[in-house]
A and B are shown apart, each in its own frame.
Chain A
C-alpha cells in the first residue's frame, strides 16, 4: 500500500486547525457564558482581565494548571485519571465527521474541509456521544465518593434515556434525507429556497428539531437538565473529588461538547455551511474565499446556537429527577415516534 504524504499532511493540518479552533471556541464559550449570565442578571461579568475581560479564560486556565493536584487515597487511580481524559477525548472526537465547509476545487486537486466523510456519520456521532457517558461514569465511580457515584449514575441514566429519543427524532429526518453521511445531508440543504420550499431541515422537521434540541440539552448535561452537577443535592456532582487541571478537563470537555453539538445541530437542521444566495456568491468569488465565507456562515450559526443554549441555561430552573425521566420516556419518545409516523405518511402519500 502506498502512503499518500500530501493527503496525510492535509488531514493532519485540518485536524489541528479544527482541534485548536474548538479549544479556542470552548475557552471563549466559558467567557461568553459568564458574560451572558451577568447580562441577564443585570451585572457586568468578567471585565478586569484585558479588554472586556477577554483574557479571563487564559487566567482561569492558568489558575487551574497551577493548582495542587489531589488524587484521593482510596480512589481507583488509573480510572480516576482515565475519566477526564476520556471526557476530553470523546468531546473532540465528534468533530471528525462534521463538514466545516464545501470542497475547495483547485488545479492540483480537491481539498475537503471534513476530516472523514464516512457514510455512517450520524451513527458515528451517536456512538461517540454514548462513549461520553464513560468519562462521567468512570470519574464518578473511581472517586470512591457516594455523591460522585450518585451523580454519575444520574448522568448515565439521563444520557441513555435521552439518547433513545434523540435517535428516534433523527430517524424521521433520515427518512427524508435517505443518507447517514453528514456531507450528503448538508448538500441536500443547499442554498435556502428550492422548489417552492425551504431546503433546511429545520423547516421540514420542526418537531424533530425540538425533540433533538431538548435531547441535546440533556446529553450535554446543561441546564435545565444539569442534574449530574446539582450542587444543592450532590455537593458538586461527579467531579467533586477532582482538582487542578483534571477538573478543568471535565469543565472544558463540557464546553467543547457544547460547541461540537451546536455544530452538529447546525449541520443537521440549519443547513450546515449553506446560506441564502450562495450560488450567486460562489459565481462571484474565488473558491478559497467562497470556502472561507461558507465556514464563517457555519460558525455564525454555531455561535447563535451556543448563545441560545446559554440563554436557556440562565432562564429555566433545573428539572427534578422524576420530571426529567417523565419528560424523556413519556413525552419525548412517544412524540418522536408520532413524528416518525407522520413523516412516513407524508413521504408515502404526499411527496411520493
Chain B
C-alpha cells in the first residue's frame, strides 16, 4: 500500500496557552493538492508551520516522501511574510530604509541570492529564467535585497519554491501583493509543478485558484473539516453591523488646502534604473482615487514620495497640502495629515507594541507608542478596538497575533486620527472576506465626510465603492487617468 504523503493524527498546538489546534487529523494522499481556507485566526499558518517542522506541536505528523521521485524529498514552506537577511546574517532593517541610499551594499543581489540557493539545492540554472519571466521578476536580478519591496520579497520566495520543486510545497497566502497577471502565471506554474510530482497545500481565500487543487478544507474549532469544491468561497457571510464610532462618522475631515497633492514631471531613478518617469498628478481635496499598476510599475515609490518617506521628493516639483516639499516643513507635519497603511508599514512595524499601543501610535505617526495620549485619545482608541472586535487582544503584542488580526490593529492605527488624506495600499492583505467587507464599509463611511482617498489594490473585489478616479501606472509612467463612471475596474 502506498503511504499517504502526510498523515496527521491528534495534533495539538497551543499558542500562548490558548489551544489553536485540538486533536486535528488530516491525511493527504499521493497526488492530492489541497486548499486550506477560512477565517483569519483559525490556525492555518500554525498548521502549515507544524507540517514544515517550524513550530512545536504535540501529536503525530508522519510525512512519507516518494522514494522513486527525482524531486527533493522535503517540505518547503513559503511564509506569508518573508524576513530577509543582510550579508552578515542580520535582519535589522528599518521602515523605508530602501529609499535611503548608502554607498556600501550590505545585502546580496537577487542574482547572488538565487545562485546561492541553487547551489545549496543543486538546481539547474537553465530552469529559472522562465519562472522569473512569468512572475515579472527578470528585471530585478541585479537589485539588492534591501531594494525590494515586501511584495517583491514574497515573489522571490515563490521563485525559489517553484525552482526547487519540493515533493511537498506549502504556500501561505501566495497571492498577496501580486498583480493579476502574476497571479495567473503563478497558477499556471503551480499546475506545471504539480504535474511533475510536487504536491501542494495552498493557504488562501481567493477565488482564482490553480486547476490542480482538488481538495478543500478549513479549520473549525481546532479541527480540519473537508468541504466540497466550490464551497470555499461561498459568500453568505453575515455582515458585521457594528456602528462606526461617532468620533469618526460625525467628524468632517479638516482640510487645509484645496490641493492635497500636486506633482509636476516627477522623476526618480536608482542608478541607471528609472522608476518614475515624468509623473504629473494632481489630487484635490475630497477626491477618491484608485492607483493601479502592475508589480514594479512604481506605485510604492510614488506613495512614499507623498508620505514623506522618500528623499527624492526634495529633488522634484512636489507640492503637498499646498506647500512645496523642502520649503521648511517636517515629515512629521506631513504625516500628521495622512493615515497610511501599506505592506511596508506593516512589515516594519514595532514588534514590541501591543494592539492598543499600536492603534494609539496613529495619533503620533510613530511605530510604537512613546507618548502619553491623554483621556480623549485613549477613549477613541478604545472605541476603535470595539469596532474591530479586538477587545480580547488589546494588551497582546501585535506580532503575536495572526496576520489578519495584526492588520486590523494597524488599520485602526491608520484611521484613529481621522486624517484628511487616507492612503490605503493593499489595506486588506491578510484579511478574510468578512473583515474586508467590514473595513470597506468603514472606508466608504469616512469618505462621505470629505476625506481624500488614494487606494491601491490588486483585487477588484476588495475595492471600496466610493472610488471615482483612477490613475494607472505602467513601467513608471502614467498610462492613463480617468474618471470612473461605472463601477468597473480593470487592472
Genuine A/B complex: no
Residues of A in contact with B (beta carbons under 8 Å apart): none
Residues of B in contact with A (beta carbons under 8 Å apart): none
